[in-house]
Structure 1
Amino acid sequence: MIALVAALLLLGIMLGAVVQLPLSVSLVACAVIGVWLLVFAMRERRARRH
């Protein structure tokens, strides 16, 4: 749960800084955060099944 909160906080910070960062850096950062959230969701779903 803490990882999810940290990811959402980081996403909020990145969205606030998007104006100051180049588009390519913003897209890479958003992709990394998105993958992190997907991995977290898959791990949580798998943990609930077992």
Structure 2
Amino acid sequence: MIFLIAAVLLLGVLVGAAAHTPLPLLLPAAGAIAAWLLVFAVRERTRER
């Protein structure tokens, strides 16, 4: 339960920070994070068990 509360608080801080970040800086950062998550998802799906 503590982990869930901490995750929600951290998400709130990150969303608040993103709301005040200039768009030209935010879009490349969001793209990099999305690419990293996509690579991670592909690696996890193709990994042998």
Could you say which TM-score interval applies, normalised by the shorter chain? 0.5 to 0.7
Query: Which residue of the partner structure matches residue 17 of structure 2?
Result: 17
Identity value in percent = 43
Q: TM-score, normalised by structure 2?
A: 0.62
Aligned-residue RMSD, C-alpha: 1.6
Query: Which residue of the partner structure matches residue 44 of structure 2?
Result: 44
Deviation at 1:21, TM superposition (A): 1.2
Instruction: For 2:25 and 2:43, locate their aligned partners in 1 and report how far apart those are by CA, in whole Å.
Output: 27
- Structure 2 alignment gaps of length 5 or more: 1-10
Q: TM-score, normalised by structure 1?
A: 0.61
Moved over 6 A (4+): none
Q: Which has the larger radius of gyration?
A: 2
Give the paired residue count. Answer: 37
Query: Which residue of the partner structure matches residue 26 of structure 1?
Result: 26
